[in-house]
Amino acid sequence: MTSVEIDVLVVGAGPAGLFAAYYAGFRGLRVAVVDSLSEPGGQISAMYPEKMIFDVAGFPSVKGRELVGNLVAQAAPFDPVYLLGQPAQRLETVGTPGAGGGFLVSNDTGLSVHAKAVIITGGIGKFEPRPLAAARDFGGRGISYFVRDPTEYAGTDVVIVGGGDSAFDWADTLHGSARSVTLVHRRRAFRAHPATVDRARTAGIDIVVEAEVTGLHGVDRVEAVDIRSGEFGERTIPCQKVIAALGFTANLGPLLEWGIDVKNRRHIPVDSAMQTNVAGVFSAGDINDYPGKVRLIAVGFGEAATAVNNAAHFIDPSRPVFPGHSTDAAPEPVAAR
């Protein structure tokens, strides 16, 4: 049993959620962050911790893992409660939110969080990688869907399946340290950004189009793969690592049952205060939606600050929505727990 009483519960520990944890602490609010993943960072930690990110303000480039680490360090002085590996399954209204009441978020493992306001920063919800049919019997034996540590691929022959940005980014990252990198895509056109494709071609990465991986060979680990192409028929090449960068499926799961308006079962409409149709429940980051929405990490940071400031005013109307700039005043003291 885990029972917590706080001011603001942040649902989702991705970049927007971590910044919301910092800003809630800055506003003097007791905050907890809940996430079904076992570590903070959301999609960044799960899918591309070693990838360079180029569109975060103030950073010409920053590695995903470093960005997450910095966000956790930024929030640390305010002692947020992290409830990781804990899916938020149910949301119940307790009393009248904004007038002494709030919300109860719970799950089947005994989690019970009482909060005066809730900020949903769940990204794309729960996501699962699209499987590579030919690798069905090789899970965990040389097959991966995300690259967590590029050093594991050094000196190996790598086959990457896919034609999106992730496939090309990993090809670019591993080229030079891996013995060989072959990228296989079923179409001639790519979903990846043209500049990324050009960089891979310039680097001399072997790109096989209108092709598919049809079989894998090996006993304890993958040793070779079969590739079928309209250009050269079938061939078998040495391979000790296969990366299936085929995208993923995602759904909001239990959030769909929370009584919150959800657009196309994917996005939560919000107003200019980042509030949903449920008073006291706000949303920030990739999961929310409004006219002109741009899904960037940098945008999510601003939405998180807006959501927290309006949540602070919702909890206590005597608090201003805008507290002033951090350079003008010290953070508000966090109430004793």
User: Residues within the annotated binding site for FAD?
Assistant: 35, 43, 48, 88, 127, 286, 327
What the block records as the tokens of 293 is 């929405």
How many C-beta neighbours within 10 Å does residue 225 have? Answer: 26
Tell me the three state secondary structure of residue 130. coil
Q: What span, in angstroms and rounded, lies between the C-alpha atoms of 242 and 101? A: 52
* Contact in structure between 226 and 246 (CB atoms under 8 Å): no
Decide if 230 contacts 223 (C-beta within 8 A): no
DSSP secondary structure string, 29-80? Answer: --EEEEESSSSTTTHHHHH-TTSEE--STT-S-EEHHHHHHHHHHHHGGG-P
Question: What three-state secondary structure class fits 288?
Answer: strand
**Tokens for 230?**
């309209």
Do the beta carbons of residue 19 and residue 308 sit within 8 Å? no
**Annotated binding residues:** 35, 43, 48, 88, 127, 286, 327
Tokens of residue 108, six digits: 């089947």
